Amino acid sequence: MDLYFEKINLAADFLRQNGIGHVDTAVILGSGLGEFAESLQSPSIIPYQEIPGFPVSTVKGHAGRLVYGILNGKKVLAMQGRFHYYEGYPMNDVVFPIRVMAVLGIKQLLVTNAAGGVNESFSSAQLMLITDHINFMGTNPLIGQNLDTLGPRFPDMSHAYFKKGQELVKAAASDLHIPLQEGVYAAFTGPSYETPAEIRMARIWGADAVGMSTVPEVIVANQAGIAVIGISCITNMAAGLQKNLNHEEVVQASASVKDDFKALLSAVITAL
């Protein structure tokens, strides 16, 4: 575990040496949503494979790099591509970048993802503000010896997505006339999509959307005292609510909302 902490510090030192200074907001860009990073001015680009300790992303549509740049005067650190549990990474790797962010002193994190709609009033190619989450992954990234320097053993998750951040997203969407759903995101491990029975269960248990990411990162961010905002792109209706599911549709739907998505992210980051 001490080695793990050393690895986190090494990665943070490397990023500092490579010009990553103050960060107003960090952003994790989900499947098909990476293009937002191209709107950052004076970007420094650091591929994950150059950062000591960083795992390397393998999913199509994930560039696997950090982009540090400026947006309307705000310093932004964007992750183009994340590490999924279903890729075979241990949880410690999945949340490694968040721990590096914590050591860098980052206080605000905007997480995004592609998700399936479970709430029948949703439709594909809509954006959803994440108000809370359900961890259906069957594990937790904090299992194991606690790194007390990074946060408490039993972190409070009562305000996993901070209220002021949620209000800011709603106000920005309203100003920009971007339709915005809101709801609870439930994370399954994947990589198979859920069955219709699992989706019915998720709905009864309070989910509005399902996906295969985000929850581990949000748990670790909360433990470290980082304030989190979450936005899902509903790329499809979940299993049983539409005929079939496939990854191509997910990629296409995220492409079709990318202009709204980019505009909303810019407005939120500027206002934060």
* C-beta closer to ligand HPA: residue 28 or 212: 212
Separation between Cα atoms, residue 156 and residue 263, nearest integer Å: 32
| Binding range to ligand HPA, per CB under 6 A, among 16-24, 95-103, 113-121, 145-153 | 113-121
CA dihedral 216, 33, 235, 239 (to 10 degrees): -40
The answer to whether residue 184 forms part of the interface with ligand HPA (CB under 6 A) is no
Interface with ligand HPA includes 198 (CB under 6 A)?
Answer: no
Select the residue interacting with ligand HPA from 194, 198, 208, 260 (CB under 6 A): 194
Burial-class residue 246 by CB neighbours within 10 Å (0-12, 13-18, 19+): exposed
> Which residues, at least 6 apart from 143, have a Cβ–Cβ distance to it below 8 Å?
91
Exactly one of 9, 86, 146, 157 is catalytic; name it.
86
Distance CA 181, CA 160 (A): 18
211 binds ligand HPA (CB under 6 A): yes
Site string for ligand HPA, 228-257 (x = CB under 6 A): -------xx-x------x----x-------
Contact 57, 82 (CB under 8 A): yes
Q: What is the Cα–Cα distance from 104 to 94, expressed in whole angstroms?
A: 18
* Least distance CB 211 / ligand HPA (angstroms): 4
Q: Is the dihedral of CA 79, 7, 47, 115 positive or negative?
A: negative
Catalytic: which of 12, 172, 212, 267? 212
Q: Which positions are catalytic?
A: 31, 62, 84, 86-87, 114, 212-213, 236, 247
Residues that bind ligand HPA (CB under 6 A): 114-116, 190, 193-194, 210-212, 235-236, 238, 245, 250
